[in-house]
């Protein structure tokens, strides 16, 4: 444990000081890394801890983004307050999906499909919702508000620290959950729901709490996403490829581990950026090239190392993370 | 005083009567065996008691409260823990974690649960295996883990579904010892389904025989083995284990 | 909105629905036997569409003829996909199978995007705009042909599973895997054949779909969802259920396009899906799992 804490401290210090050595672009890449690690951590609560495969996780990110952005655009509500509304909406939707699924014993493949279906419903719904700009998207005013931190207005450097704090907080939260009574109940449910029931665990309640925690975390991810990009389009934010992006980092890093989503994000985001450069340099004007590569990476990882990279890396570093 | 009272319980599957108005009365502190040939409805009866299936008729009382209709987790919370015929430990978790999760039912603090689990693991000779992942255990160890996890929920009554099946004679003797100790030292009432007659004879105070879903006899092990209908339906066919 | 318009839309929906049903049939067959959810199913349908499109554009092969070629090619692809890749995942957890096929789906859809670009393509047949008048109701000829062809392929499949040795052996695998192994059936080979048959269905459906609809790579994920929706509504693993689900969805979407808006049609399917999952999770024609 000593060694783990030391490494963690060093990493934190390095990340706090890092922007000094980075240009604007590199900083913005790291913002994406942290956001990806953050949302990956949220997804991991459902899949990695409670064994619930959410294939439509973009739903919660998108809802969080839309709710907070609409409140800000229409009523000037600060995202710090809009966040509460975003979390409330996401938790409400998550509970509705959870109630539907767990009440009617929709499990496994069916549950995963249901999550996609709800994300699709949201995509189509927001496409037609005039109040949030419909298919044309919702735009946040950019000019003249820089530096209003309470409105989450700022440049890459500002968002660097926001996203870093989020990734760190999500890590801490998940580490605490993982060691809590609820965390062990999740693992039990993931491993064998019927056996979990037999030792007195209310499986429905455990699953519901995982869905709620994950949705609430994802809502914040959506809020920061929209205030960072200043726009949101239903066709993009709720798209299935976005949901897959969310899953990729924790899968490649290691499902059910605490460092997996972080490691995965540090690998995938820069790789994606590099691929964009590479395809541009090669003169391949192919919009799908990056995604083809990711698809292949996903297949190869799940083929060769279904537990992800972190478990084996952890052994080499000699760090003891509680076994998932 | 009876701890578990099963009153005329019936379960049908698609017209087939799996359990037919079966009644049991298990005294507090007893070791009670349910025997019968394959397909007699023993495991179905357990699933009814444990809340996995809903009864189509009859009532089940445990420790003064009516428990039929409750979910398995609620039944367990009442102090009635069960093991599965085909063991189902949490495969990816360690032995210690498996048992600690059982202990968490009575213990909100994980650290205390792990401490409680240690106690149980030492009692069942599994402490040396604590760091092993459950899926890597041998069958006898898994069977004991199954008992350990159930025991960690601090039950008043244990429902054991064929914990001896697949064990070699020496391992069976060890399990018999363990169950005796649990019953004697902890005051846990035990209801077990068992095919291994040697274990039934050694352990049980009272034996209940099922055949084709219906009760055909009940009594001490010696009485039951002399019962003509039992011999005809069961012991005659499979011989004394 | 006149009655004849409603009738027209209903009939169109049924005809298109049968082609959807054939596509979903492939998914259902694979799941019913191999117990793997083909998450790249819609992607295969779109590849089938492009294949028929290319055969028509380059060699002037009518899609109704190309259907056979595409189906045969897809059978081979499916056979080897199962033998080489998917077979390693049969005993792995659900989510790993899922992720493997999601990966494949991403590769396929973006590969098509790289090759064909995002623009819609279509096939212009000499009889593309022919139609019959049935009283006041106008019916497209191509849609009728496509629906009949879909029924034909589905019928052939029923016959295959009912009357051939191999078909019966595959059904034995689906019913009782251990038993099938015990009596000496080559389960790996039968699985590969099943995967091949499933993909042949979706390939044929793709070739038919190009006659009635434009193709873009971005259709693929929505087809995957469509196929799932149909199969779940009809009953996972039930062949008749897949066709029935196709009909239901075809009609529901056609009516939704007419009454609400074309872009809202999949909302109706999802609403149906939710209702079915909640109240009849085994689907319209599925058997309830014990």
Max avg pLDDT among B91-105, C78-92, C138-152: B91-105
Q: Which two tokens stand for residue A41?
A: 């951590």
Give the model's pLDDT for residue C289.
45
Binary contact (C95, A53; C-beta < 8 A)? yes
Element (H, E) at B59: strand B57-62
For the residues A55-73, what does the mean pLDDT come to? 95
Cβ pair A299:C104 closer than 8 A: yes
pLDDT above 90: residue A105: no
Confidence of residue A145 (pLDDT cuts 50, 70, 90): low
Instruction: Give just the sign of the alpha carbon dihedral A159, A160, A164, A170.
Output: positive
Q: Does A323 touch chain B (CB under 8 A)?
A: yes
User: How close C183 comes to chain A (CA, Å)?
Assistant: 30
- Dump pLDDT digits (tens) for B57-72: 999 999 989 999 899 9
Task: Please write the tens of the pLDDT for every residue from C163-221.
Answer: 998 888 888 888 777 777 777 788 888 999 999 999 999 999 999 999 988 999 989 98
Q: What is the pTM of this model?
A: 0.88
Long-range contacts of B122-127 (CB under 8 A, 24+ apart): B123/B148, B123/B178, B123/B181, B123/B182, B124/B148, B124/B151, B124/B178, B125/B174, B126/B95, B126/B99
CATH number, residue C38 = 1.10.3470
pLDDT band of residue A284 (cuts 50, 70, 90) is low
C80 vs B40, more confident: C80
C-beta atoms of A299 and C96 within 8 A: no
The answer to whether residue C64 sits within a structural domain is yes
Count structural domains, chain C: 1
Q: How far is B153 from chain A (nearest CA, A)?
A: 7
Cβ of residue A47 closer than 8 Å to a chain C Cβ: yes
Tokens 């389009």 appear where? Answer: A233
Determine, for residues A105 and C107 on separate chains, whether the beta-carbon distance falls below 8 Å.
Answer: no
Q: Please tell me the least confidently modeled range out of A288-302, C24-38, C76-90.
A: A288-302
pLDDT at C36: 87
Nearest chain B alpha carbon to A190: B90
CB contact under 8 A, A199 and B105: yes
Among chain A residues, CA nearest to B88 = A195
More confident residue, C254 or A150: C254
Q: If you measure CA to CA, which chain B residue comes closest to A180?
A: B110
| A52-56, A125-129, A276-280, B95-99: least confidently modelled range | A276-280
- Name the residue facing A191 among B90, B110, B152 (closest C-beta): B90
Q: Among A27-41, A137-151, B135-149, C92-106, where is mean pLDDT lowest?
A: A137-151
Instruction: Print the domain residue range for C272.
Output: 13-123+141-279
Please report the pLDDT score of residue B239 as a whole number: 47
CA geometry: angle C77, C82, C85, nearest 5 deg: 105
Model pLDDT for residues B138-169, shown as the tens digit of each residue = 999 999 999 999 999 999 999 999 999 888 98
Please indicate, yes or no, if residue C194 is contained in any of the structural domains: yes
Contact C269, C187 (CB under 8 A): no
Interface probe for B, chosen from A187, A193, A200, A256 (most Cβ of B below 10 Å), is: A200
pLDDT band at B235 (very low <50, low <70, confident <90, very high): low
- Region A192-208: mean pLDDT is 95
Mean pLDDT across chain B = 90
Question: Residue B137: what pLDDT?
Answer: 93
Does C135 map to a domain? no
Round the average pLDDT of chain A to a whole number and report it.
89
Record: contact B76-A199, CB cut-off 8 A? yes
Name chain A's partners: 3 or more CB pairs within 8 A. B, C
Q: To the nearest whole angstrom, how far is the Cα of C174 from the nearest Cα of chain A?
A: 18
Confidence (pLDDT) at A146: 64
Q: What is the CA radius of gyration of chain C?
A: 19
Closest Cβ opposite residue A104 in set C107, C113, C281: C281
Inter-chain touch C111–A117, beta carbons under 8 Å = no
A188 touches chain B (CB under 8 A): yes
Q: Look at residue B14 and give its three-state secondary structure.
A: coil
Residues of B with CB under 8 A from a CB of A: 50, 52, 71-73, 76-77, 81-82, 84, 88-94, 97, 100-102, 104-105, 108-110, 113, 133, 149-150, 152-153
Gap between the Cα atoms of A109 and C232, Å rounded: 11
C41 to each of A49, B195, C45, C46, C235, how far by Cα in Å?
29, 49, 6, 9, 17
CA distance C202 to C74: 8
The span from the CA of C289 to the CA of C280, in Å, is: 12
Q: What's residue B141's pLDDT?
A: 92
Chain A: give the shortest CA distance to residue B143, in Å: 14
Chain A: closest CA distance from residue C96 (Å)? 6
Residues in chain C with CB shorter than 8 Å from the CB of A247 are 99
By C-alpha distance, the chain B residue nearest A185 is B101
Q: What was the pLDDT predicted at B95? A: 96
Output the pLDDT for position A275. 81
Is the predicted pLDDT of residue C287 greater than 80, yes or no? no
For chain C, the distance separating the N- and C-terminal CA atoms, rounded to the nearest angstrom, is: 47
Contact B82 A198 (CB under 8 A): yes
Per-residue pLDDT, A323: 44
- C274: confidence class by pLDDT, cuts 50, 70, 90: confident
Residue B17 backbone dihedrals phi, psi, to 5 degrees: -85, 110
- pLDDT tens column, B79-105: 999 999 999 999 999 999 999 999 999
Q: Which of C110, C267, C277 sits opposite A106 (nearest CB)?
A: C277
pLDDT of the residue at C290: 33
How close, in Å, is residue A198 to chain B by CA atoms?
Answer: 6
Strands B206-211 and B214-219: antiparallel
Work out the minimum CA distance from B160 to partner chain A, whole angstroms.
12
Look at C112 and A109 and tell me if their CB atoms are within 8 Å: no
pLDDT of B241 > 70? The answer is: no
pLDDT classification of B237: cutoffs 50, 70, 90: low
- For position C160, what pLDDT does the model report? 92
Q: Which residue has the higher pLDDT, A233 or A294?
A: A233
| Chains in contact with B, where contact requires at least 3 CB pairs less than 8 Å apart | A
Contacts of B149 in chain A (CB under 8 A): 199
- What is the bridge-based pairing of β-strands C131-134 and C137-140? antiparallel
d(CA A263, CA A265): 5
What is the average pLDDT across A53-71? Answer: 95
Q: Residue C281: its pLDDT value, please?
A: 73
In a domain, C159, yes or no: yes
User: Chains touching chain C at 3 or more Cβ pairs under 8 angstroms?
Assistant: A
With respect to residue C229, please indicate whether it lies within any of the assigned structural domains.
yes
């Amino acid at each position: 444990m000593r060694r783990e804490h030391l490494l963690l401290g060093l990493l934190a210090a390095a990340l706090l000081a890092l922007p000094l050595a980075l240009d604007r672009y590199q900083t913005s890449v790291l913002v994406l890394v942290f956001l990806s690690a953050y949302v990956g951590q949220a997804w991991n609560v459902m899949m990695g801890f409670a064994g619930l495969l959410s294939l439509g996780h973009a739903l919660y990110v998108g809802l969080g983004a839309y709710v907070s952005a609409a409140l800000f655009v229409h009523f000037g509500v600060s995202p710090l307050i809009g966040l509460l509304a975003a979390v409330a909406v996401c938790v409400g939707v998550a509970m509705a999906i959870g109630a539907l699924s767990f009440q009617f014993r929709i499990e496994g493949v069916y549950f995963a499909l249901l999550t996609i279906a709800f994300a699709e419903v949201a995509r189509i719904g927001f496409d037609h919702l005039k109040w949030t700009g419909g298919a044309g998207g919702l735009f946040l005013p950019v000019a003249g508000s820089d530096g209003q931190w309470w409105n989450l207005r700022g440049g890459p450097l500002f968002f660097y620290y926001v996203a870093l704090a989020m990734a760190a907080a999500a890590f801490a939260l998940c580490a605490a959950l993982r060691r809590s009574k609820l965390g062990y109940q999740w693992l039990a449910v993931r491993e064998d729901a019927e056996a979990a029931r037999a030792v007195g665990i209310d499986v429905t309640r455990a699953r519901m709490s995982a869905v709620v925690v994950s949705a609430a975390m994802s809502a914040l991810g959506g809020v920061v996403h929209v205030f960072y990009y200043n726009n949101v389009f239903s066709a993009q934010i709720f798209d299935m490829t976005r949901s897959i992006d969310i899953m990729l980092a924790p899968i490649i890093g290691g499902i059910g581990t605490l460092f997996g989503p972080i490691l995965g994000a540090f690998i995938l985001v820069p790789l994606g950026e590099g691929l964009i450069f590479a395809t541009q340099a090669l003169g391949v004007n192919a919009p799908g090239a990056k995604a083809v590569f990711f698809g292949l990476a996903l297949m190869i990882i799940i083929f060769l190392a279904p537990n992800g990279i972190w478990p084996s890396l952890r052994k080499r570093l000699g760090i003891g993370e509680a076994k998932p | 005083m009876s701890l578990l009272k099963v009153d005329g319980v019936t379960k049908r599957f698609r017209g087939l009567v799996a359990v037919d108005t079966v009644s049991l009365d298990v005294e507090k502190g007893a070791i009670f065996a349910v025997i019968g040939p394959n397909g007699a409805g023993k495991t179905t009866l357990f699933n009814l008691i444990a809340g996995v299936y809903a009864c189509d008729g009859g009532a089940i009382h445990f420790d003064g409260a009516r428990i039929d209709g409750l979910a398995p987790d609620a039944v367990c919370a009442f102090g009635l823990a069960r093991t599965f015929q085909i063991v189902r430990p949490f495969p990816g978790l360690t032995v210690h974690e498996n048992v600690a999760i059982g202990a968490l039912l009575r213990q909100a603090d994980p650290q205390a649960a792990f401490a409680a689990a240690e106690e149980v693991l030492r009692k069942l000779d599994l402490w040396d295996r604590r760091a092993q992942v459950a899926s890597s255990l041998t069958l006898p160890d898994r069977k004991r883990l199954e008992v350990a996890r159930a025991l960690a929920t601090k039950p008043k009554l244990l429902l054991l579904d064929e914990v001896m099946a697949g064990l070699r004679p020496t391992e069976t003797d060890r399990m018999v010892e363990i169950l005796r100790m649990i019953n004697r030292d902890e005051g846990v009432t035990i209801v077990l389904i068992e095919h291994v007659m040697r274990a039934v004879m050694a352990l049980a105070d009272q034996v209940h025989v099922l055949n084709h879903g219906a009760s055909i006899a009940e009594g001490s092990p010696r009485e039951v083995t002399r019962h003509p209908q039992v011999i005809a339906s069961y012991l005659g066919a499979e011989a004394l284990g | 909105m006149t009655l004849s318009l409603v009738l027209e839309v209903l009939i169109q929906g049924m005809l298109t629905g049968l082609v959807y049903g054939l596509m979903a049939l492939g998914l259902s067959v694979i799941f019913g036997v191999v117990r793997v959810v083909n998450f790249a199913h819609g992607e295969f349908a779109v590849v089938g569409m492009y294949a028929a499109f290319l055969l028509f554009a380059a060699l002037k092969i009518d899609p109704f003829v190309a259907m056979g070629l595409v189906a045969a090619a897809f059978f081979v692809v499916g056979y080897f996909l199962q033998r080489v890749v998917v077979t390693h995942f049969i005993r792995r957890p659900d989510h790993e199978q899922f992720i493997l096929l999601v990966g494949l789906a991403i590769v396929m859809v973006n590969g098509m995007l790289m090759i064909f670009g995002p623009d819609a393509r279509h096939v212009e047949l000499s009889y593309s705009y022919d139609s019959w008048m049935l009283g006041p109701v106008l019916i497209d000829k191509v849609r009728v042909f496509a629906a009949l062809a879909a029924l034909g392929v589905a019928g052939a499949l029923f016959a295959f599973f009912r009357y051939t040795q191999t078909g019966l052996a595959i059904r034995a695998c689906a019913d009782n895997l251990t038993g099938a192994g015990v009596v000496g059936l080559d389960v790996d080979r039968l699985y590969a054949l099943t995967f091949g048959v499933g993909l042949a269905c979706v390939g044929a459906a793709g070739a038919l779909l190009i006659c009635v609809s434009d193709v873009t790579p971005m259709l693929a994920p929505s087809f995957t969802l469509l196929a799932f929706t149909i199969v779940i509504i009809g009953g996972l693993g039930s062949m008749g259920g897949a066709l029935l689900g196709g009909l239901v969805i075809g009609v529901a979407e056609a009516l939704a396009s007419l009454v609400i808006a074309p872009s809202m049609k999949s909302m109706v399917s999802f609403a149906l899906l939710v209702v079915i999952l909640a109240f009849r999770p085994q689907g319209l024609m599925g058997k309830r799992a014990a």
